[in-house]
Amino acid sequence: MKKAIVTGANGFIGRAVVSELINQNVQVWALTRHGDENNFLQSDKIKGIQFDLSNITLIKKSIPFDDYDVFYHLAWDGTSGSARNDIDLQLKNAQWTVDALRVAKELGCKRFVGVGSIMEDETIAAAFSQGNKPGMSYIYGGGKLIAHVMCKSVAAEIDFDLIWCKITNAYGKGETSPRLINSTIRKIIAGETPRFTSGTQNYDFIYIDDVARAFHLIGELGKPFHEYLIGSSKSGPLREFLLQMKAAIAPNVDFIFGDVPFSGINLDISKFDCSKTEIDTGFKAEVSFSEGVKLTKDWIESNNGGSTI
């Protein structure tokens, strides 16, 4: 891989992907949205521009047609908090992803890497289980699922190589969202008592540096019209992960299980199988969960807590 385009380049995952690509000597067009600070790594291998996700076709005015290897589309509005439940926004995200796919083809890219989520599988399970009443939290997963289906159909129609990635749960340095691992570590630092569900539902977590390596390898070695799960290959009940966290960074802190009700879907452990990714790309997660939460805690403390969440 020599040249790539990355949208959402200053997001939590985007910054890590751009950093990994330039470390692999890839020239990167790094796209950040208007008004966002260009806080990705400075390098002569990066050309940064700002863009509007709702009108992504305009990037053709700034990025010249060329022989680009991969177009990574990481930009997505409403990935955390109440915006995940915004039906209008999540439907627009799906449309904007298809728009990005078409633009990538027009710019001369060889392949398009779309970014989904294991929430796609949870959404299917929640929405199509007889008698189940899925909550609004599945709107985000529905948007990702719609984007996946539409992109696959459009890519086939325009004869363009599509690869779809699904992330289990990324965490690590640089994250400021209120998602579980980040918010729990911040509570520990603040001296609060973390409270959880009973923690019997299956989960997987993968450290951000491993996520970035996976994207590089998938973009380079992934097979067209295949989907790849990005995870640690060490999935298990959530409680086990949280107890690992407690042992690693908060041995004297009480973790309270069962205080928070759980109304979601518990995916079968087979849904977290990353063997396809490992076989096709050679990717293997390197950072253990215990090591990852230590690194994350160190980053938060060294950055005075980072941005508020």
Find the CATH number of the domain harbouring 20: 3.40.50.720
Q: Is 263 a residue whose pLDDT tops 90?
A: no
* pLDDT at 34 (0 to 100): 75
Residues 6+ apart with CB under 8 A from 110: 67, 68, 69, 70, 161
* pLDDT at 308 (0 to 100): 44
Query: What is the span of the domain harbouring residue 110?
Result: 3-167
User: Do residues 75 and 15 make contact, with C-beta atoms less than 8 angstroms apart?
Assistant: no
Within a domain: 209: no
* pLDDT at 216 (0 to 100): 98
Within a domain: 229: no
* pLDDT at 77 (0 to 100): 95
In angstroms, the CA 68 to CA 220 distance is 12
Q: Is 256 a residue whose pLDDT tops 80?
A: yes
- Find the range with the poorest average confidence among 127-131, 157-161, 251-255: 127-131
Q: Is 96 a residue whose pLDDT tops 80?
A: yes
CB-side neighbour CA atoms (13 Å) of 123 = 19
Within a domain: 63: yes
Within a domain: 47: yes
In angstroms, the CA 16 to CA 283 distance is 16
* pLDDT at 18 (0 to 100): 97
CB-side neighbour CA atoms (13 Å) of 107 = 27
Within a domain: 195: no
For the segment 78-85, the average pLDDT, to the nearest whole number, is: 90
Residues of the chain above pLDDT 70, percent: 96
For the segment 280-307, the average pLDDT, to the nearest whole number, is: 92
- The β-bridge partners of 117 are 167
In angstroms, the CA 260 to CA 263 distance is 10
Q: Is 41 a residue whose pLDDT tops 90?
A: no
For the segment 137-157, the average pLDDT, to the nearest whole number, is: 97
Tokens (6 digits) for 134: 């899925």
Within a domain: 300: no
Within a domain: 198: no
Number of domains within the chain: 1
Within a domain: 301: no
Task: Please report how the helices 180-189 and 238-249 are oriented relative to each other, as an axis angle in degrees rounded to 10.
Answer: 30
For the segment 216-231, the average pLDDT, to the nearest whole number, is: 98
